[in-house]
Amino acid sequence: VWILVSLLVGAQVWGILGLLIALPIAGFVKNTVNYLRYYSEFGVAESRYENKN
């Protein structure tokens, strides 16, 4: 779904060049969001076990 949306948005904003650029940008954004989501959950889980003293 995100592939189709990124292609449509890229085509609307930048035309043919947008079609070429939209997919790598969308992939980068998706990977970054997944990375941040994974490590933010890990940080929260680890902070539960920190010594509060």
pLDDT, tens digit (0-9, with 9 covering 90-100), for 1-52: 888 999 999 999 999 999 899 999 999 999 999 988 887 766 655 555 555 5
d(CA 7, CA 48): 41
pTM over 0.85: no
* Domain range annotation of the chain: 2-47
For residue 36, the model assigns a pLDDT of: 86
For residue 12, what pLDDT is reported?
A: 94
Q: Closest Cα to residue 2, out of 14, 16, 18, 25?
A: 25
How confident is the model at residue 44, as a pLDDT?
57
Gap between the Cα atoms of 13 and 37, Å rounded: 28
Residue carrying the six token digits 């539960």? 48
d(CA 4, CA 36): 23
